[in-house]
Amino acid sequence: NAGVTQTPKFQVLKTGQSMTLQCAQDMNHNSMYWYRQDPGMGLRLIYYSASEGTTDKGEVPNGYNVSRLNKREFSLRLESAAPSQTSVYFCASSPRGGGQYFGPGTRLTVT
Amino acid sequence: GESVGLHLPTLSVQEGDNSIINCAYSNSASDYFIWYKQESGKGPQFIIDIRSNMDKRQGQRVTVLLNKTVKHLSLQIAATQPGDSAVYFCAENIQGGSEKLVFGKGTKLTVNP
C-alpha cells in the first residue's frame, strides 16, 4: 500500500512552458486535492475533486487546470508556467468524512 | 475570513519533556479538526483527529484537546523525542467531512538532546 504518490519529485521549467503533475492514491479514497505550499503562506488549496468526474476550484486556482482521470488519479496542469508558480505542490486524498493524507510533494522551480 | 491560527511560531523543548502545541480557530461551525506533522522536505503526515462531539482524544504518545468554549485546540506530545522535531499544523473543517480544510501556518518544534 503506497498511499499517495506524486511524480515528478523535482522539476525546473522555463517561463511559458507547460507540464502536468501526476498524483495517484491506492486507498480507494473518494476525494482528492492539490495544494501549493509557499514559505510563510501555509498550505493553499488549488483544486479538489470530491468524487470521480467532479472538480472544484479552491483558494488559488488561476493558472492551473486539473483532471480527475479515474478514482485513483488526479493530475494538475500548468499550461504556461510563471515564476509565481514556483512552489512545492502536494496532492492529498481522503475518504468520505475522514482526514486527508498527503503525498511527498513536487518541488517546482520556474525560471 | 475564517482562519486557523497558532499561538507560537516556534517551540523548543528538551528531550524527554512533554510538548504542548496550541491552535486557535475562529469558526464556531467547525466540527472536525486534524493535527499534521511535517518534517523537512516531506509531505504533511496525519497525526490525530478529533470531532466536535469530543473534548479529548488520545493516540500513541499524543493527545488532542478541544475546548469549544474558547475555540482552542492543543496537541500534547509525551516524552518528546528528537524524531518529533518538525512543523506541526492544525486544520479545521466546517462541513462534517474533509472536502475543504483550513490550515494554520504551523509551529516549528525543536527537540534538544
* Residues in A touching B89 (Cβ below 8 Å): 42-43
For residue A110, name the pLDDT band (cuts at 50, 70, 90).
very high
Distance from CA of B57 to the nearest CA of A (A): 15
Picking from B98, B102, B107, B108 by the largest number of A CB atoms within 10 A of its own CB, the best residue to mutate is B98
- The pLDDT score that the predictor gives to residue B93 is 87
B109: its cell numbers: 518544534
For residue B30, the one-letter residue type is S
Residues B14-53 pLDDT 10s = 999 999 999 998 788 888 999 999 999 999 999 999 999 9
- The pLDDT score that the predictor gives to residue B95 is 65
Lowest average pLDDT, out of A74-88, B20-34, B65-79, goes to B20-34
* Residues in A touching B100 (Cβ below 8 Å): 45, 48, 58
DSSP β-bridge partners for residue A21: A76
Question: Per the CB < 8 Å rule, is A102 touching B45?
Answer: yes
Contact pairs from chain A to chain B, CB under 8 Å: 51
- The pLDDT score that the predictor gives to residue B2 is 35
Calculate the alpha carbon distances from A14 to A18, A26, A41, A46, A60 in Å: 9, 32, 24, 21, 21
Residues A35-55 pLDDT 10s = 999 987 789 999 999 999 899
Of A90, A96, A105, nearest to B97 by CB-CB distance is: A96
Question: Per the CB < 8 Å rule, is A42 touching B45?
Answer: no
**Which span out of A39-43, B76-80, B90-94 was modeled with the highest average pLDDT?**
B76-80
